[in-house]
A and B are shown apart, each in its own frame.
Chain A
Amino acid sequence: MQSFVYIEADEEEVDPTSLQIASRIKKIPVEIRGPLKGICIGKNLEGKESQFSGLLDEIFIIEVNKGNESNTEVISNVLLDIIGNHGPCILFLGFTHQGMELAPAVGWRLEIPVVTACTDFEWTTDTAYCKRSMLGGKVIASISVMMNEGAIISVQKGAWKDDVDSAAVGGEVLTTKMGWKESWAAEKSEVISISKEKFEEDEDITKAEILVSAGRGLGDPDNLPIIKELAESLGGMISCSRPVVDLGWLPASRQVGISGKTVAPVIYLALGISGQSNHVAGMNASGTIIAVNKDPSSPIFNIARYGIVDDLLEFVPELINQLKNQKSA
């Protein structure tokens, strides 16, 4: 048995989820997990291996041509080649945009079980136990997975963030650089171009110390002014969950979550946000999370430090009034 971590990295940085996964799996006894190895596929990856020294026994670095670093058909082919040639293996990867595509693509071709979006993981014998959210976080499913023939486990972003032990990092890691193989080439797809979203400095929610974040509970875009007024009163910025963007109420630059920004403000005020794992993955590193939601069973209260059960459309105006009175006093 061997364990592999797919390390997501671009020219700028390594996705922190990869580091969190390596740290967590490293803690599992070697007799169970076997050697722990990493696979990093991309462009200009020089030096990325150093972040995994002390965590991985070996790291495979595969430099690919421009475009292929984002071509999931190519990445699947590389993963299949390496994993398929190492006997039964467990592949761990993040439940990121890439991971959502790669886990089932590789799992189906290797005919091994795939468990996605794991938040918790225990592996003591041939069977591992995973936990994952369902129904917007209102239910947690426990899953047993047979590991002896190999498996793919994808990990919810941020779920294992507390597992990183910087003191454990150090020393050398065996680095194996693999040259391009024609068998990895894409046959059905081609990446034509990659664009990065551009936004004004005053829209950069990742730099805000206070975020006032609106969810579907806002009900109507006509209610946005009270959220903006509250954000201004607190000296913060406005952000939101995915449905608010999908409905066209706020631009994508304000979106927090897996498909939006990852933020870590001092205070994250979640207003009318249910707390679906896709959103939580982008904000659970915030200093203090405060949630206002009229549904007392809303999953957001499971991760918030403070909670208020109330209708945000009634509560926020009261909050604004009191803040005004405080300033004028």
Chain B
Amino acid sequence: MRVAVCSKGVPIEMAVDVVNNADGDISYTGTDFYINEFDSYALETALNLKQRYDAETIAISLGPLRSQEVLYFALAKGIDKAIRIDGQTVRPEMIVSGLLPVLKEVDPGLVLVGVQSEDWMGAEVGIYLAQALNMSRAYAVTEITELNESDIRVRKEIGAGKTAEVALKLPAVLCIQSGIHPLQYISKGRLRKARSLPINLGGSVDPKDVRDKIPGMTSYDIVGVAEPSREGQAEMITGERPEKAKKLIEIINQIA
């Protein structure tokens, strides 16, 4: 079984400078990238499958050279091979268009992605991939209960505190929910060692080409980015700590 795990680099939150580009996309400047936390659970799942089923594991990331750190992190964790696709976009259909040729070549039995990304906060990529690759899919997977050559059984959240056990035909795309496995710590030494391992380049994403290929999907644009309105912002309780606590107790007493 070959398992591909898509690992996105997201900006280190506090340092980010978000730039809305003329092409209706967003880029980040002045920031390093770390692995999207949701994808790190997909990575743990891939490693678990490697351990349980001797799966061959391949991490794939679309991002600029600076985001390569995500793949070194994956290699340090024990992923067998890493591929980076060059490009910078937050648009899910663009990301998928970049991932598709590589995934078709890798031809995995399972594709794992996190349920969403910390920056875009959508949940599109895994589902788009399943549609484009004509694979079965499950969203918000919390457990893999069974795996054989043709089928996989998973437990997934379906909302309102309910879960469903679902049988899927392989190949399949699983959108892995956070918390599925504990995140394993990686030492700096292991990460340093991983930086000497090769990262394969899997082409690049060309936004114009994507717009030509799937004009319907791309007929939207990000036209602006701004900080949230402060209109409804909280009334701030200020002062020394004891004073703030006193004021808060008064407010709670008044309401309760």
For the complex formed, measure the closest distance between the CB of A215 and the CB atoms of chain B, giving whole angstroms: 14
Considering only residues 71-126 of chain B, those with a C-beta below 8 Å from chain A are: 90, 92-93, 115-116, 118-124
Given A188-B169, A190-B166, A315-B244, the answer on whether A101 and B123 have CB atoms closer than 8 Å is yes
Contact check, B235 vs A306: say whether CB atoms are below 8 A apart.
yes
* A192 vs B166: C-alpha distance when bound (angstroms): 5
Determine whether B130 belongs to the interface, using a CB cutoff of 8 Å to chain A: yes
Contact check, B139 vs A111: say whether CB atoms are below 8 A apart.
no
Contact check, A145 vs B220: say whether CB atoms are below 8 A apart.
yes
B residues near A136, Cβ cutoff 8 Å: 13, 118, 121
Determine whether A176 belongs to the interface, using a CB cutoff of 8 Å to chain B: no
Categorize the interface residue count of chain B.
35 or more
Considering only residues 132-170 of chain A, those with a C-beta below 8 Å from chain B are: 132-146, 149-151
* A187 vs B11: C-alpha distance when bound (angstroms): 39
* A108 vs B236: C-alpha distance when bound (angstroms): 45
Cross-interface CB contact of B235 among A299, A307, A318, A326, cutoff 8 Å? A307
* A136 vs B117: C-alpha distance when bound (angstroms): 10
Determine whether B216 belongs to the interface, using a CB cutoff of 8 Å to chain A: yes
B residues near A194, Cβ cutoff 8 Å: 158, 162-165
Q: Which residue of B lies closest to A248 (CB)?
A: B182
Given A193-B165, A318-B245, the answer on whether A139 and B18 have CB atoms closer than 8 Å is yes
For the complex formed, measure the closest distance between the CB of A287 and the CB atoms of chain B, giving whole angstroms: 7
A residues near B131, Cβ cutoff 8 Å: 104-105, 108-109
* A210 vs B132: C-alpha distance when bound (angstroms): 47
Q: Which of B55-63, B193-201, B225-233 touches A? A: B225-233
Cross-interface CB contact of B225 among A142, A149, A188, A245, cutoff 8 Å? A142
Q: Mark A308-323, 1 if CB is under 8 A from B, else 0.
A: 1110001100110111
Q: Which residue of B lies closest to A105 (CB)?
A: B127
Given A104-B128, A191-B164, the answer on whether A144 and B220 have CB atoms closer than 8 Å is yes
Considering only residues 205-254 of chain B, those with a C-beta below 8 Å from chain A are: 214, 216-230, 232-237, 241-242, 244-246, 248-249, 251-252
For the complex formed, measure the closest distance between the CB of B240 and the CB atoms of chain A, giving whole angstroms: 10
Q: Mark A105-138, 1 if CB is under 8 A from B, else 0.
A: 1011111111111000000000001001111111
Determine whether A100 belongs to the interface, using a CB cutoff of 8 Å to chain B: yes
Determine whether B204 belongs to the interface, using a CB cutoff of 8 Å to chain A: no
> Interface majority SS on B: helix, strand, loop or mixed?
mixed
Determine whether B178 belongs to the interface, using a CB cutoff of 8 Å to chain A: yes
B residues near A289, Cβ cutoff 8 Å: 234
Q: Which of A31-39, A46-54, A56-64, A259-267 touches B? A: A259-267
Q: Which residue of B lies closest to A269 (CB)?
A: B252
Contact check, B249 vs A322: say whether CB atoms are below 8 A apart.
yes
Contact check, B216 vs A259: say whether CB atoms are below 8 A apart.
no
* A110 vs B219: C-alpha distance when bound (angstroms): 13
* A144 vs B220: C-alpha distance when bound (angstroms): 5
For the complex formed, measure the closest distance between the CB of B178 and the CB atoms of chain A, giving whole angstroms: 5
Determine whether B22 belongs to the interface, using a CB cutoff of 8 Å to chain A: no
Q: Which residue of A lies closest to B156 (CB)?
A: A97
Determine whether B30 belongs to the interface, using a CB cutoff of 8 Å to chain A: no
Cross-interface CB contact of A113 among B130, B172, B219, B245, cutoff 8 Å? B219
Q: Which residue of A lies closest to B163 (CB)?
A: A195
For the complex formed, measure the closest distance between the CB of B207 and the CB atoms of chain A, giving whole angstroms: 15
Contact check, A113 vs B13: say whether CB atoms are below 8 A apart.
no
Besides A248-B179, A308-B244, A321-B245, 13 other CB < 8 A contacts?
A73-B136, A100-B123, A116-B123, A141-B225, A187-B169, A188-B137, A197-B163, A243-B178, A266-B256, A299-B228, A302-B230, A306-B237, A306-B251
Please give me the 3 A-B residue pairs with the lowest Cβ-Cβ distance, nearest first.
Answer: A307-B234, A246-B179, A188-B136
